[in-house]
Amino acid sequence: MLLVLVGLVAGGLVGSSSGTAAETSHGTASIPYGGISNPPTSDKPQSKMWWNDGSWWADMWKSGSGWHIHRLDRAAQTWVDTGIRNDSRGNTLADTLWDGQHLYIAAHVVTGSTNETPVVSTPGQPAKLYRYSYTNGTYSLDSGFPKVITNNSSESMTIDRDSTGAIWATWTQVSGSSAAGFTSTVFVNHSPDKGVAWGNPFVIPAADPIATPDDISAVVAFGRNKIGVMWSDQLDGTVYWATRTDGTDPTATSSWRVQPAVQGKRQADDHLNLKTLQADAAGRVYAAVKTSLDDGSTDRTLPQLVLLVFRPGTGAFSQSTIATTGDCASRPQIVLNSQNNLVHAFFTAPHASVSGCPYSGVAGSIYEKTAAMDNPIFAQGRGNPIMQDASSANLNNVTTTKQSVNSATGLVVLASDHIAKRYWFADRSLGPTPTPTEPMPTPTEPSPTPTEPTPTPTPTEPSPTPTEPSPTPTEPSPSPTPTEPSPSPTPTEPSPTPTEPSPTPTEPVEVTSAGSTTAFTATASSTVAVTVPAESAPGDLLVASITADLNPSVTTVPEGWKPIVNALSINSSTTSGARVFAYYRVVTATEPASHSFPLSKAVKWGAGVTAYRGVDTDAPLDAAVVTASNTTYSATSIVGPSITTVSDGAMLIGGLGFDSGTPAAVPPTGWTERWESAGGQIAELADSRQPVAGVSGTATWTFGAARAVAVWRTALKPAE
């Protein structure tokens, strides 16, 4: 059972009350602060807290002194200053890590930058690593510390420790000028000896380490022997994911594998928070990210906060919605509850007294939602307020720990009110039985029909909420079944019946919010296994593309799949070359989680699947399939022949395969690359809508390196 502990604020009782939502406070008001530039519980990827020796600890600002280590006295519900100061600079923020032996605190000078107001990173502003040992209840700074990680300021910085004991750090540096333009580059650095000696910072060796001035990065150790770096790129709508195996050359391009975690128009924003369970044999990584789908759209059902789950076994991400644009949610943090197998998601959303959604990112209250780690489907609405001040709507920037939690630790989260200059916290007990999130109604206002088509919400996303909030139910509402669509709300007044029948409009073909999944194997396998994108609904169309080494055949096409291209050869030799396969399938009400394509021999392969919505399921293809190939191993581009579409609004789609295990594809101008597999043999899928039926013209893919390649093209027909 989750328990909200009560405390005192301004002489009043904090906790659930019998008054209205606007009069209710939750959580505990804590120590005041002053003399710092930034909210002390920010930034989004960072963790300010850790659990050690039966207590919760935090790196908190003490006015007039600096950043001090504090301990939570749970009996008194008070944070106690230990007197141990690390960084004294008032313009810094920090990320903390307790690894069971040492406490690491990485403090960096903050340069806040936005796309509208870029601010260049400042040299001569060192980011410092403090390392502490812990003995008999006391932390002591290790000899020779702090150490300098980098000499430049940054918007954010995170750290983690790999299986060899090396400490890794990542951040983004903004450079440029108003005349030349501004960019933000993803940097990493590492210390192989637990933070003692640091090399020179280097740009992550990836295909796209350049982002916008507003973008950030985060690092996490996972899978018992790997490091992952995630960063946002709002320019191309992608959240990227780069991984490496511990012990390999950190600066070598071949040591890193890079892939999109999520990709598409407005799918990226500068909000990232990564967590993993080191005890998880599957090595799963959980990432809470924010989209930009609230920009330029009045549709309140689109995903705003999203949970991405990376499964190393498949090399693919799944996706589920934490909160929608109508929830007005921002700055997510997640905690993994290993005992109850739950993901706890925390975020800022407007105070309960605030009607509607002023804008995403407005301060207010801190809310919590939970979902099962194995099948993370979150209930609709904002969830439960866990920190809320009845007299102020300015709580923001929730932070917590990198560690997993259980009934022994409980769960503590911090936030801050940067108007009143005061910390707040919530202390939760975690019982042995998981408690589902109780949905809380979200007040919204009716929106006009958007001028641009927007994706239809998937079944696991909440339906639009009514214009006036209803009372919170006494029992939690069940989450909708993923394979069955949620009913649309009944309008309060019936629409007038037209005197003459009107033709049914054609709905646009869209990629679902679940997006795509990818997979590959760099060792020989006779089975291609692809995962169905999360939240796919009956009637969606799956498009799979596969590239397999050494020219095998698919011995049996799985039931329900129909070919787009079958055995398109890059090179016909049986000792070299590769083949490209592409298939489509209509999602059923009993859709399995994955599908397997058996090969005639064991080979390396790469594959992926994209889920489309609004396709005519009786006749999905709107144009003949065309192909092209180049077997010279020296091609730096390939031209996909023109096709002729029959229907207005058809979705042009195309897939590409390399006889190579290294990604290098760039989609045609005006196209969106949905995915590119990260190894094995490279497969890729891209698309572009064609508003008016007719001749499409050719489409040219370009490559970052010379390749032998094959490409196919067709189009998807919109449903009537």
Instruction: Please tell me the predicted confidence (pLDDT) of residue 572.
Output: 65
Where are the chain's structural domains?
A: 1-87+317-439, 91-270, 510-716
Q: Check residues 574 and 34 and name the one with the higher pLDDT.
A: 34
For the segment 341-358, the average pLDDT, to the nearest whole number, is 89
Nearest CA-CA partner of 702 in 638, 613, 629:
638
- The neighbouring-strand residues paired with 27 are none
| CA–CA dist 686, 476 (Å, integer) | 41
- Predicted confidence (pLDDT) per residue in 206-233, tens digit: 766 888 888 999 999 999 899 999 999 9
- The neighbouring-strand residues paired with 672 are 687
Q: What are phi and psi of 656, to 5 degrees?
A: -135, 150
Mean pLDDT across the chain: 85
| CA–CA dist 53, 72 (Å, integer) | 12
Find the angle CA(29)-CA(32)-CA(37) to the nearest 5 degrees.
125
Nearest CA-CA partner of 694 in 718, 669, 671, 715:
715
Place of tokens 């979200």: 442
Q: Give the DSSP per-residue string, 28-85.
A: EEEEE--S-SS-TT--TT---EEEETTEEEEEEEETTTEEEEEEEETTTTEEEEEEEE
Q: Note the maximum CA span of the chain.
A: 85
For 538, which DSSP code? T
Residues 273 and 402: beta-carbon distance below 8 Å: no
Cα atoms found within 13 Å of the Cα of residue 329, Cβ hemisphere only = 35
Q: CB within 8 A of 105, min separation 6: which ones? A: 59, 67, 86, 87, 94, 95, 96, 97, 129, 130, 132
> For the chain, first and last CA: distance in Å?
49
Instruction: Please tell me the predicted confidence (pLDDT) of residue 538.
Output: 92
| CA–CA dist 588, 134 (Å, integer) | 56
Confidence of residue 352 (pLDDT cuts 50, 70, 90): confident
- Predicted confidence (pLDDT) per residue in 505-523, tens digit: 456 899 987 789 999 998 9
Nearest CA-CA partner of 352 in 7, 24, 720, 106:
24
Instruction: Please tell me the predicted confidence (pLDDT) of residue 93.
Output: 97
Instruction: Please tell me the predicted confidence (pLDDT) of residue 506.
Output: 52
From the number of C-beta atoms within 10 Å of its C-beta (0-12, 13-18, 19+), residue 311 rates as middle
Q: Check residues 279 and 111 and name the one with the higher pLDDT.
A: 111
Do the bridges between strand 257-263 and strand 272-276 make them parallel or antiparallel, or are there none, so unpaired?
Answer: unpaired
Place of tokens 């989609």: 667
Residues 411 and 425: beta-carbon distance below 8 Å: no
Residues 357 and 350: beta-carbon distance below 8 Å: yes
Lowest mean pLDDT among 1-15, 101-115, 621-635: 1-15
| CA–CA dist 49, 58 (Å, integer) | 4
Q: Check residues 474 and 678 and name the one with the higher pLDDT.
A: 678
- The neighbouring-strand residues paired with 232 are 239
CA dist 217 to 173, 272, 479, Å? 10, 7, 32
Q: What are phi and psi of 236, to 5 degrees?
A: -110, 15
With a pLDDT cut of 70, the percent of the chain lying above it is: 85
| CA–CA dist 19, 469 (Å, integer) | 16
- Predicted confidence (pLDDT) per residue in 475-492, tens digit: 333 333 333 334 343 434
For the segment 252-279, the average pLDDT, to the nearest whole number, is 90
- Predicted confidence (pLDDT) per residue in 658-676, tens digit: 999 988 898 998 898 899 9
Confidence of residue 23 (pLDDT cuts 50, 70, 90): low
CB burial of 473-502 (b: ≥16 within 10 Å; e: otherwise) equals: eeeeeebbebbebbeeeeeeeeeeeeeeee
Residues 343 and 307: beta-carbon distance below 8 Å: yes
| CA–CA dist 708, 629 (Å, integer) | 8
Instruction: Please tell me the predicted confidence (pLDDT) of residue 235.
Output: 87
Nearest CA-CA partner of 439 in 357, 327, 353:
327
CA dist 659 to 304, 578, 606, 610, 656, Å? 38, 5, 10, 22, 10
For 293, which DSSP code? T
Structure tokens at 266: 């407005």
Place of tokens 């599908």: 595
Place of tokens 């919760």: 56
Find the angle CA(595)-CA(612)-CA(552) to the nearest 5 degrees.
40
Instruction: Please tell me the predicted confidence (pLDDT) of residue 457.
Output: 39
**Is 544 a residue whose pLDDT tops 50?**
yes
Structure tokens at 703: 């490559």
For the segment 119-146, the average pLDDT, to the nearest whole number, is 96
Instruction: Please tell me the predicted confidence (pLDDT) of residue 639.
Output: 94
- Predicted confidence (pLDDT) per residue in 422-453, tens digit: 999 999 899 764 444 444 333 333 333 333 33
Structure tokens at 578: 């590769």
Q: Give the DSSP per-residue string, 311-355.
A: ETTTTEEEEEEEEEGGGT-EEEEEEEETTTTEEEEEEEE--TTS-
The residue type found at 247 is G
| CA–CA dist 456, 464 (Å, integer) | 12
Instruction: Please tell me the predicted confidence (pLDDT) of residue 470.
Output: 37
In this structure, the number of other CB atoms found within 10 A of the CB of residue 234 comes to 21
| CA–CA dist 47, 440 (Å, integer) | 27
**Is 707 a residue whose pLDDT tops 70?**
yes
**Is 703 a residue whose pLDDT tops 80?**
yes
| CA–CA dist 608, 531 (Å, integer) | 8
**Is 271 a residue whose pLDDT tops 50?**
yes
Confidence of residue 277 (pLDDT cuts 50, 70, 90): confident
**Is 586 a residue whose pLDDT tops 60?**
yes
What is the chain's alpha carbon radius of gyration, rounded to the nearest angstrom? 26
Q: Give the DSSP per-residue string, 365-426.
A: EEEEEEEESSS--PPSS--EEEEBBTTB--EEEEE-BSS-B-TTT-EEEEEEETTTTEEEEE
Sign of CA dihedral 177, 39, 66, 51: negative
- Predicted confidence (pLDDT) per residue in 165-192, tens digit: 999 999 999 998 888 888 889 999 999 9
Cα atoms found within 13 Å of the Cα of residue 203, Cβ hemisphere only = 11
| CA–CA dist 364, 453 (Å, integer) | 31
The residue type found at 219 is V
